[in-house]
């Protein structure tokens, strides 16, 4: 298998962490690419017609894409139990919440990176951060018992989302007022899989 890969992407990192946690890393060749909303290399488009990463090129079937699909596939392949049936809907909801945090955070980055400075819309960025702020507060208020439970895909997604906020939006300080989540992340971020996948 081959993973179409960019280290700075939190969605790619989520898959990369799952590869580490499931013991499948040695089965996958990492294919680094440089991509943007305006420029998708041919190898990315060949794996995903939307030109987005991550994408997993399989030997036994067509490429699959979207980090949630890839993570479910890898978990099933390894029988790792990252999507336990007993709490499946909670895991999927937690993963969806984390992915939405990532999407909003990337949207802010793109607003500044790909628009001329005079066309950057601060109101858009503030609205995206509002989504992030509400989601992080909800994690802190409602999800700590789950986050402190056995490892699952929801925890991995949340860990990667919070790490991306530190990586790209540290000045906004998601930790303020979210002490329980901050304490959890301080421990989770030191997992071997998280340490091994930190972007430079």
Query: What is the fold of 2-78?
Result: Glutaredoxin (3.40.30)
Give Cα 166 distance to the centre of its chain. 13
Tens digits of per-residue pLDDT, 164-177?
A: 999 999 999 999 99
Delimit the CATH 3.40.30.10 region(s) of the chain: 2-78
What is the pLDDT, as a whole number, of residue 200?
A: 79
At 38, the pLDDT band (50, 70, 90 cuts) reads: confident
What is the pLDDT, as a whole number, of residue 39?
A: 87
Please compute the mean of the pLDDT values over residues 35-42 and round it to a whole number. 87
- Exposure class string for 117-132: b at 16+ Cβ within 10 A, else e: eeeeeeeebeebbeeb
45: β partners: none
CA distance 147 to 42: 39
Delimit the CATH 1.20.1050.10 region(s) of the chain: 85-196
Domain 85-196 has CATH 1.20.1050.10: yes
Residue 141 has pLDDT above 90, yes or no: yes
């Amino acid at each position: 298998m081959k993973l179409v890969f960019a280290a700075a992407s939190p969605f790619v990192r989520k898959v990369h962490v799952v590869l580490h946690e499931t013991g499948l890393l040695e089965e996958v060749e990492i294919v680094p690419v440089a991509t943007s909303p305006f420029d998708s290399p041919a190898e990315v488009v060949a794996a995903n017609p939307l030109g987005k990463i991550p994408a997993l090129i399989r030997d036994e079937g067509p490429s699959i894409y979207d980090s949630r699909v890839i993570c479910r596939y890898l978990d099933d392949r390894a029988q790792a139990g990252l999507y336990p049936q007993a709490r499946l809907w909670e895991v999927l909801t937690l993963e969806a919440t984390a992915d939405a945090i990532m999407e909003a955070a990337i949207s802010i980055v793109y607003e500044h990176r790909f628009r001329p400075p005079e066309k950057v819309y601060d109101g858009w960025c503030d609205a995206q951060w509002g989504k992030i702020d509400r989601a992080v507060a909800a994690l802190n208020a409602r999800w700590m018992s789950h986050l402190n439970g056995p490892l699952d895909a929801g925890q991995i997604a949340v860990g990667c989302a919070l790490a991306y906020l530190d990586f790209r939006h540290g000045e906004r300080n998601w930790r303020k007022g979210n002490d329980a989540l901050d304490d959890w992340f301080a421990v989770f971020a030191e997992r071997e899989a998280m340490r091994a996948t930190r972007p430079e």
